[in-house]
Structure 1
Amino acid sequence: MTDGGAVTDALESLLVEGGAGREVLAPGLVAAVGEQRLDEVLEATHGRIGPVHRVVESAEHGWVVEGERGRVPAWGRVGPDGRLTGLMISAGVIPTGGRVRRVLKAVPSRVTDVLYLAPFLPAVACWTAATVSGFLSSLALLALVWVSVLGWGVAAMLPRPASALLSAATATALAAVWRLPGLPFGHFGVGEAIVPLGLVAALLAVARARRHDWDAALSQPLRFPLSGTWYVAQGGGRMINHHAPFPDQRGAVDLVRLGAEGRRRTARDTALTSYAAYGSALTAPCDGVVVAAVDGLPDEVPGRPRYGPPEGNHLRIDTGHETVLLAHLKPGSLRVASGDTVRVGQHLADVGNSGNTTEPHLHLHAERDGRGLDLRFAELGDRRLWRGRRITV
């Protein structure tokens, strides 16, 4: 029987029986979380979906628990004896809808494809403007697109056609400058001024997000744990860092490696080895003791993460003053175990794509008493790691 089949059987046995015989079915799980907590999870699951009929493995969700009133994603891990040692069940149900849901799910990407052409609207407006003020307002709108891409977006992660179209639209707009000597200046009314004012506001907002501090310092700067050129896909203040709403992760960064010609991957496919980050050596950013070391979770297919432990394979290092998390590591690559003492620069593991991740990258954050800290690295001085910054070490 495959590991997947063993997990399916173990989950089904536990959930169908509703907790009866749990000490036999999952003694390791009971020891880890306690009978009361396990009972709470099982009761909550039955409350959401009714009596469980079966558990099936799903390419989209991992495992799915099917009940009388609905379905929920789940995750499990079994030991050599086939009994559960780990369990997660989602608090949300899988929406019904089948084909309609899949079509609606594809809508955002279709809209994005259309938006790649949007910069040509202000570019054309530059050629049709009847006044200099109208030209400048249209050019400001195009500049606002650039601010969105470079400030709030992830420019290095844009598809090359999108980058080429934006550059072409900019060249088209600038080529219209020759028309200016023959145009009246016009005036800046509300219509002409609103876009330049929006551009200024956007610039100030991006600058503020990039310079944001949580006023929570590390005991001492970390050492950057990777070598090569890396791109900050998430980092900075609230507007440019999706970790910010989570107190322990608010200062976190996601780091993606850039390879030849500044590209994240060598081919447009889902092969993990196509990504420059995959398999990169990860070294210790600090001295400390490993307080958690999780290995053995599989890499996810890029762009298709399934339900399960969000950190994937990961390490937590206690420096004595804070805890540093290194997540989404390659299965089988961990070179240390819980309880080991590590030193700065020691090879710990390799970057992978396990856990809740859309492509190979390193998630790093530091926390103290459940509150995320502002990251600083000795090699970078006081330079902050905000979304869009490139780091070469």
Structure 2
Amino acid sequence: MSAESLDLVYPFTGRWLVQNSPADQVPSHGTTRFATSYAIDFVPVDDSGRSAAFGFASLIRPEPPEQFIGFGRSVLAPIDGTVVAIHDAVTDHPAYRGLPSLGYAMTQRRRVEAGWLALAGNHVMIRTGAIVVALCHFQQGSVRVQVGQTVRIGERLGRCGNSGNSTEPHLHVQAISSLDLARADAVPIRFGGALPPNGAIVDP
């Protein structure tokens, strides 16, 4: 990571699985659009590393997000700063694993073309200095902070959900140079001075 990386605190407690980490590839999500080059995803998991029980039904049909242990888990402020944007009205949609995930993937282009909100879903954005940290996919109606509010590390922002571009309840984190997503640059991030790779379990 470069000297310009922004160091964050993990925005949660408990066990979370790392996915789409920039420690493994950049751009981490396969695109540079919306300044996502250094974005990272965290999926809440149980002691066995599973986000939810997986059965035959998981292979053939969408599942209620409430079946996943991470749905409703607290999301915390990863840095001190000022809330500069929130969205809290997007409905949490079903989770997609197995064959349903293939159908969901086919609609990815439509969400990208619809813009940032279609991808981020419910979200909170915090400015610290010149950098903005975005946390995405909150549960509908769970955001507890308001624009203009000062937050401190560890303060509860809301709850993990399945809104926006999400196949199961998880948290997406990225840092950007401005609120203008069309022109913003992606900012590298770390957590406690390090960046976990794909497949790692973090338990702060």
TM range, normalised to the smaller chain?
0.7 to 0.9
Structure 2 distance, partners of 1:350, 1:252, is 19
What does residue 328 of structure 1 align with?
Answer: 137
Could you report, residue by residue, the CA deviation over 1:74-120 in whole angstroms, capped at 9, with x for unpaired residues?
A: xxxxxxxxxxxxxxxxxxxxxxxxxxxxxxxxxxxxxxxxxxxxxxx
Is 1:281–2:85 an aligned residue pair? no
Structure richer in strand, relative to its length:
2
Query: How big is the shift at 1:216?
Result: 3.7
Gaps (5+ residues) in structure 1?
1-212
Gaps (5+ residues) in structure 2?
179-183
Query: How big is the shift at 1:385?
Result: 2.3
What does residue 29 of structure 2 align with?
Answer: 242
Could you report, residue by residue, the CA deviation over 1:49-95 in whole angstroms, capped at 9, with x for unpaired residues?
A: xxxxxxxxxxxxxxxxxxxxxxxxxxxxxxxxxxxxxxxxxxxxxxx
Structure 2 distance, partners of 1:214, 1:373, is 10
Is 1:227–2:41 an aligned residue pair? no
User: Which residue of 57, 71, 83 corresponds with 1:290?
Assistant: 83
Residue 334 of structure 1 aligns with an amino acid whose one-letter code is V
- In structure 2, the CA distance between the partners of 1:246 and 1:387, relative to structure 1 (3 Å rule), is farther
Structure 2 distance, partners of 1:240, 1:292, is 24
User: Which residue of 207, 217, 220 corresponds with 2:5?
Assistant: 217
- In structure 2, the CA distance between the partners of 1:279 and 1:245, relative to structure 1 (3 Å rule), is same
What does residue 377 of structure 1 align with?
Answer: 191
What does residue 263 of structure 1 align with?
Answer: 50
**Secondary structure in 1 aligned to 2:153?**
coil
Contact 1:238 1:245 in 2 (8 A): no
Structure 2 distance, partners of 1:311, 1:301, is 16
Identify the structure with bigger relative contact order (alpha carbons < 8 Å, sequence gap 6+): 2
- Structure 1 or 2, whichever has the larger Rg, is 1
What is the TM-score when the length of structure 1 is the normalising length?
0.42
Superposition misfits of 4+ residues, deviation over 4 angstroms? 304-308
- In structure 2, the CA distance between the partners of 1:323 and 1:239, relative to structure 1 (3 Å rule), is closer
Cα RMSD, aligned residues only? 2.1
Structure 1 distance, partners of 2:125, 2:202, is 23
What is the TM-score when the length of structure 2 is the normalising length?
0.78
Contact 1:244 1:251 in 2 (8 A): no
Query: How big is the shift at 1:332?
Result: 0.7
Structure richer in helix, relative to its length:
1
- In structure 2, the CA distance between the partners of 1:278 and 1:243, relative to structure 1 (3 Å rule), is farther
